[in-house]
Structure 1
Amino acid sequence: MKNLFKNIGPGPLIAAAFIGPGTVTVCTLAGVGFGYALLWAMVLSIIATIVLQEMSARLGIITQKGLSEIIRTEIKHPVFKFLAILLILSAIVIGNAAYEAGNITGGVLGLEAIVGNPSLQIGEFSINVLSIVIGLIAFVLLYLGNYKTLEKALIGLVTLMSMAFLVTAIITKPNIIEIIKGALIPRFSKNSLLTVIALIGTTVVPYNLFLHASLVKEKWHHKSDLQFARKDTFIAVILGGLVSMCIIISAASIQSTDIKSASDLALGLEPLFGSFAKYFLAIGLFASGITSAITAPLAAAFVTTGCLGWSSNMASKRFRAVWMIILVLGVLFSSLGIKSIDIIKFAQVANGILLPVIAGFLIWIMNKDSVLGSYKNSIKQNIFGFLILGISILLSVATLNKVFSLNLF
């Protein structure tokens, strides 16, 4: 057991990053709208995430560099290099600032179910105190600038979140046979395409590829450690996927069609299973919000420092300045209740475009002898990689279709 915990790496942080309030909401809508029918999409998402995150971890351990550093050094043409860096910085930094507000708001929704909605009235502005509390917790953990401290804190929060959603799913007394069918037999229900793509998109997160490559080199420094990184990735992503599936299962038990968010799910469960279900879900929502509130600014800092050639030391002034800006913007948007629709729309478009671009960059780099030598992709890894690249292109097109109402589907 001691060795097991000793070899835990960034895997739980990656799981924590993709199970944010957005994932909770998408999984809730999938369960309410389609029951167990879309569980197979989560299985597909888990496989895709494992494949891409393993590549990212392998790159970080073998090169001891982050993904953004490798992209900056490997693209030789100055114009292409400038465009690649501009796209990555705009999508990750501005996108993460927008999503940070959603992460903090999600954590607030969890706390509000337990402690109510305390607020401060300053002039015409009503400031949500809980947003500031969550922001301060994230600030303290990030400012410590120590990977091991972050790792322990997030492992605790992910465990708490996992148990909360697992217990919630068990309380609903689901049909096990139907769950197995839903997970193993792909079915497209009416109007389910965008929900399927949303489930994939909320799990296969572009910034996680940067975050993973940067964090593995904080934990491991030798090629022989690759076995530990792979096991860490495999276990954490599967457990994270199971948490998402538990949310879908919980939501499938709700008969009402008025459930539009995770907070509605908490209220929907209460008449059926008592107030305990609401509290379990509230704890899970709080944990998912705060873990993502930590990892989103962290990823933005790694990406920015890598793209601009700055030091990626977590205690450096520039590194801290980046995550502080992201965190402050998130707290500001969340606490003041600012509807940053245009920013979030930009983030959706940028990240929708970014996923196939980054997946393409990653597969390209993973096949370079000059970067990885004998640790480059095998034929099997490339087959999986290109299949996932195809799915990510579909996701990109669907995102653009949804945002701009192009009526392509």
Structure 2
Amino acid sequence: MITAALVFGPSKLTITSKLGAVYGYSLLWVVIVAILFMAVFTGMSTRIGVATHQSLLASVRQKWGKPASVLMGIGVFLVTTSFQAGNSIGVGIAVGELYHTSPVPWILFFNAFGISLLFFRSFYSVLERTMILLIFVKLFSFVTTFFWAEPDAGKIVSGFTTPTIPEGSQGLIIAFIASCFSIVGALYQSYLIQERIRINPALREAKNDSTTGIILLGGMCSIVIICAAAILNPKGIAVNSATDMAKALEPIFGNNASTLFLVGLFGAAFSSLIGNASVGGTLLGDALGLGSNFSSRSVRYLVALVMIIGASIAIRFGKLPLELIVFAQSVTIFIVPFIGTALYMVGNDREIMGDKVNSPLVKVVAGLGLLVIFSLAIINCKELFLNNP
């Protein structure tokens, strides 16, 4: 649930809205592809967390040495910190639009609130309950919008079962797969499951299934694409941000629909605000030997640091600066294939995994997922360094 909540942020809401608004129902099949690979890698990460009594970065250290684990930890911290401003802006805009005020006070308030959650003794339990609540806020908002939209059932089925690539859609397809098939989110799953086991050791012997949360992630992506396809596509309304989607609903369904969608946007932004910061702080703490769980005071301070940096950038610039986006993309290009490969190799290591080692089927599907990751990295590298001199 936490993984699904932190992956489905404002950028995902924007991309999915745009997919439906521009290309209608025709790209729904992309959700299945992205969710399949995400489910496989998240499941692998879950088994790694259950099979070992050490963190994933500790297993990386065991296999390839300290420099590899430090590189992963610092890389993830840089990526999450770079994108944290977008989550702060999303929270500020969502609530600011609801109350017709400046986003700045809301950015300050909700970051302060997020940091205050860190000082609860059982932060993981608070995080889990908050994320589950926000998941249901998002689901309620988007499912209600779905029924208002009255989509075409036949076109929905066709969109899922008949893969097509409309002209000019390649960029959005790549952006969606890269954001939905989140290797950083999958990596973090191993830390989350170990946090649960630390609180309740009996869970190590229980069935730990990450599929439900990932299916919910796919469901939310599909619903937003369908809503945009049903409402915006016939009218030729394109969207460049999630708030554009909310504004487009207003003349069709009135203030209630716009408000409802903004509530969903808030849920997406605030869940990513906390979740994204938790990923960056935990991984950097582990890489530097300061701890790998929320009981470590140093990890909590690092999580707070990610929030403070993101909020500062959001207030200073009011948007994600282009230079920061380029920097984040540059780091992502190099770190994500490395993380995916490390996950795959650890999951295949019988000495580390025991009876939870990857099955032959998982090896094949995850291997295809790695090909997708490396292909996306090559495409992004070409776009970033060759097409933008």
Distance in 1 (alpha carbons) for counterparts of 2:273 and 2:75: 17
Distance in 2 (alpha carbons) for counterparts of 1:264 and 1:40: 24
Distance in 1 (alpha carbons) for counterparts of 2:25 and 2:333: 26
SS of alignment partner, residue 118 of structure 2: helix
Distance in 2 (alpha carbons) for counterparts of 1:97 and 1:176: 40
Task: Give the direction of change, closer, same or farther, for the CA distance of 1:171–1:132 in structure 2 (3 Å limit).
Answer: same
Distance in 1 (alpha carbons) for counterparts of 2:170 and 2:202: 41
Q: After superposition, where does 1:216-295 map in structure 2 within 5 Å?
A: 216-220=193-197, 225=204, 228-230=207-209, 233-252=210-229, 253-254=231-232, 255-295=235-275
Identify the residue that residue 125 of structure 1 maps to in structure 2.
none
Identify the residue that residue 37 of structure 1 maps to in structure 2.
26
Residue identity over aligned pairs, in percent, reads 24
2:348 counterpart (367, 372, 383): 367
Output one character per residue of 1:222-256: Cα deviation in whole Å (capped at 9) or x when no partner: 697466322xx111110111111111112212123
TM-score by length of 1: 0.88
Identify the residue that residue 385 of structure 2 maps to in structure 1.
404
TM-score by length of 2: 0.93
Task: Give the direction of change, closer, same or farther, for the CA distance of 1:399–1:239 in structure 2 (3 Å limit).
Answer: same
SS of alignment partner, residue 208 of structure 2: helix
Output one character per residue of 1:315-341: Cα deviation in whole Å (capped at 9) or x when no partner: 323112211111101111112225532
1:25 counterpart (5, 8, 14): 14
How much does 1:70 deviate? 1.5
Identify the residue that residue 357 of structure 2 maps to in structure 1.
376
- Contact 1:61–1:223 under 8 Å retained in 2: no
How much does 1:35 deviate? 0.8
Distance in 2 (alpha carbons) for counterparts of 1:378 and 1:313: 28
SS of alignment partner, residue 207 of structure 2: helix
Distance in 2 (alpha carbons) for counterparts of 1:15 and 1:44: 16
Distance in 2 (alpha carbons) for counterparts of 1:108 and 1:94: 22
Distance in 1 (alpha carbons) for counterparts of 2:271 and 2:79: 17
SS of alignment partner, residue 99 of structure 1: helix
- Contact 2:18–2:238 under 8 Å retained in 1: no
Distance in 2 (alpha carbons) for counterparts of 1:366 and 1:384: 13
- Contact 1:35–1:251 under 8 Å retained in 2: yes
Distance in 2 (alpha carbons) for counterparts of 1:226 and 1:264: 47
How much does 1:258 deviate? 4.0
Task: Give the direction of change, closer, same or farther, for the CA distance of 1:226–1:192 in structure 2 (3 Å limit).
Answer: farther
Distance in 2 (alpha carbons) for counterparts of 1:394 and 1:13: 28
Distance in 1 (alpha carbons) for counterparts of 2:123 and 2:181: 26
Query: Please, which runs of 5 or more residues in structure 1 have no aligned partner?
Result: 1-11, 120-127
Distance in 1 (alpha carbons) for counterparts of 2:85 and 2:343: 28
Distance in 2 (alpha carbons) for counterparts of 1:403 and 1:25: 21
* One-letter code aligned to 1:381: V
How much does 1:152 deviate? 0.9
1:395 counterpart (365, 368, 376): 376
* One-letter code aligned to 2:102: P
Distance in 1 (alpha carbons) for counterparts of 2:206 and 2:25: 34
1:129 counterpart (90, 102, 105): 105
* One-letter code aligned to 2:157: I
How much does 1:375 deviate? 1.5
- Contact 1:143–1:315 under 8 Å retained in 2: no
Identify the residue that residue 344 of structure 1 maps to in structure 2.
325
Q: RMSD across aligned C-alpha pairs, in angstroms?
A: 1.9
Q: After superposition, where does 1:99-138 map in structure 2 within 5 Å?
A: 99-118=83-102, 128-138=104-114
**Number of residue pairs aligned between Structure 1 and Structure 2:** 381
Q: Which moved more, 1:65-74 or 1:188-197?
A: 65-74
